[in-house]
Structure 1
């Protein structure tokens, strides 16, 4: 009788283990509708980068301008997205991310809205990066006292989006609701103010002919902001040509650190003065710093880079995670001027305004 009980217990254990193994195997094989967002590479914009052909170039180069040596680092922070519609993450692969404050599990649609292909997203992110570089250059030159005219044009139109059949690639945007558009940031604000279902009357120039185009912004599936369904490129008439060698990184959130890097390289002396500064934030051509995605992941990336200061957009105060890197000095900023002041304060061995700027919720 004892042998029978032992045998039955052994059989139950074996069946249980087999079921667990099957469950784990299925979890490892079955695709999930989620991706993992985690800290990506960190790039010192005051340093050099190796290009695809093996050559080494400075991250920031300015034609026909005297560049000054910088002592310290101005780090660009990135976010890596693991998984996409064509290469979904398994359920099992999501488990470690649930216990790591530096990672986040998010729906695939948050990064790849329905109807937007991988190629379209890559093209859009590349256009955002090009635009952010130009806006950063415009903001830096304007901070240095230079005049910088701007032109907005349509780089791409998303199929079945609000601009499909209304705007065309190459259209130049002149006015919105009868008023001149100062820069891309102003256009984004006008779209946000109009809201989903609203209307914006754009004055455009198409092949040299002035026209009007009526756009009704929509919120794409998985998104949270109204968009016009077109990628807009900003073309600035800069006093000097700027070349930023980071072709493998996309998106608009490096604008602030690019502007800081240009100010540092174009100004005698050293603003950073041996400090390690990490920064994230979009920037307009007039120096306003805008909110970004992936704040928590960039915060942890800054901590891993042993940053003396992490600059973030004040517009992201509501996104501050409860679990933050211990000891990381964080300064929310609204403008390029505030960012420069915070860097100079830290370089001088003092404390910049910190999370108290975010209010009680910080």
Structure 2
């Protein structure tokens, strides 16, 4: 998921009462008689009725109890809940500019290759998360989110797993964004026919981990237990290899260290039931020309597909989107596979609110799309970057959009 950490919208719910109508001033009030039962009578000067002792006791305790209930309700509304709230976040046009380090800069900059005019939008979407492990939304906010189709109430653990700090989650989101941007550039250029060599590199060694003092930042991972590693898809392969090795014996890790092949032995450590080496890895590519992507204060991998489409649009003649307002989401691999993301419902509403009329959704998210599409938004299902390009070219050419895959309810 693409996540922006920001204070959420607060919907103030007013709890009040209906004022009673004032009693009419009756100048000539008379008593009603049994023969005239519908005649209203108001006795201004009749002596006050004396309440029985049981009613006096009820009156004595009624107001204090009502006040205590009101105070309890207010206190409960202010107590933090065990939930977080997901809601539509900022929208960024990959063909346009945004604030980056305090200055407006293009999201995509290309050097060493001709670029072409674009129009319309290719919006990437984000989800804002209200709350974290330390600061939770109050119950009033939670109730308001339950009643709002554009927001979702989720357990804290869905974003902040037990034993993982807020800072660690933010750091991982930043790494995911960097890796997704690299994959997006590779996917776009491979789609255009370029050769893009890649390597899996150690980007971080955790203090106190099994890899500390054995592996180094900058080491290029060649293989683990004899299985070669080279592409972004191999990051998942690496996790599987370490898991299969287990924590009872060392794994053979071959690295390229500054041009020299080195073989190391690292025994994984089991953390929460999962064997880990204790390294962070990234995938580095060798591009035929420079493509720079800039997006500040946003983390996660789900911008990949839209960045790839923006690069294709800028580096090829014509308008890929036909000048339409298009939004979409999805992770991307260098080979062009589009993957599922979180917060799809919030992104649908964020796209609609930003003015998009076309939405490209990962095919693997379709079950969450059905029944949650806002009016005025046409959603097309894509499983690969090729699918996304075909959909946009069909729209741009005025072709038969009815032939494009859409999300339908499972049978």
**Structure 1 position 252, deviation (Å):** 0.7
Q: How many residues are paired up?
A: 355
CA distance in 1, matches of 2:357, 2:314: 20
The answer to whether the Cα contact below 8 Å between 1:204 and 1:213 also exists between their aligned partners in 2 is no
1:274 to 323, 332, 335: 323
The CA RMSD measured in Å over matched residues stands at: 3.1
Question: Among residues 112, 123, 145, which one is paired with 2:171 in the alignment?
Answer: 123
Asked whether the equivalents of residues 139 and 284 of structure 1 are also in contact (C-alpha less than 8 Å), the reply is yes
C-alpha spacing 1:235/1:194, structure 2 compared with 1 (3 Å) = closer
Of the candidates 346, 349, 364, which is equivalent to residue 300 of structure 1?
349
SS in 2 for 1:257: helix
Residue of structure 1 equivalent to 2:263: 211
The 5-angstrom pairing of residues 1-362 of structure 1 reads 1-2=50-51, 10-11=59-60, 13-53=62-102, 55-157=103-205, 168-188=216-236, 191=239, 202-206=253-257, 208-212=260-264, 230-320=279-369, 322-349=371-398, 350-351=400-401, 352-356=404-408, 360=410
Gaps of 5+ in 1: none
More helix by share: 1
Task: Quickly say closer, same or farther: Cα 1:265–1:30, change in 2 above 3 A.
Answer: same
Kindly name which structure, 1 or 2, has the bigger radius of gyration based on alpha carbons: 2
The 1-side partners of 2:299 and 2:81 are apart by: 25
**How much has 1:220 moved relative to structure 2?**
5.8
Confirm or deny: 8 A CA contact 1:163 1:228 kept in the other structure. Answer: yes
Q: 1:56, 1:301 → 2: CA distance?
A: 22
Say if 1:24 and 1:92, in contact at 8 Å, map to a contact too.
no
C-alpha distance after superposition, 1:182-240 (max 9, x if no partner): 4122322563698688688653345645224567697969xxx9987643211111111
Q: 1:2 to 1:124 in 2, by over 3 A?
A: same
Query: Quick one: structure 1 residues 307 and 197, their matched pair in 2 at CA, closer, same or farther if it must change by over 3 Å?
Result: farther
Q: Under a length normalisation based on structure 1, what TM-score does the superposition of the two structures give?
A: 0.86
1:97 deviates by 0.8
Q: Which moved more, 1:68-77 or 1:345-354?
A: 345-354
Matched residue of 1:324: which SS? Answer: coil
User: Shift of the alpha carbon at 1:110?
Assistant: 1.6
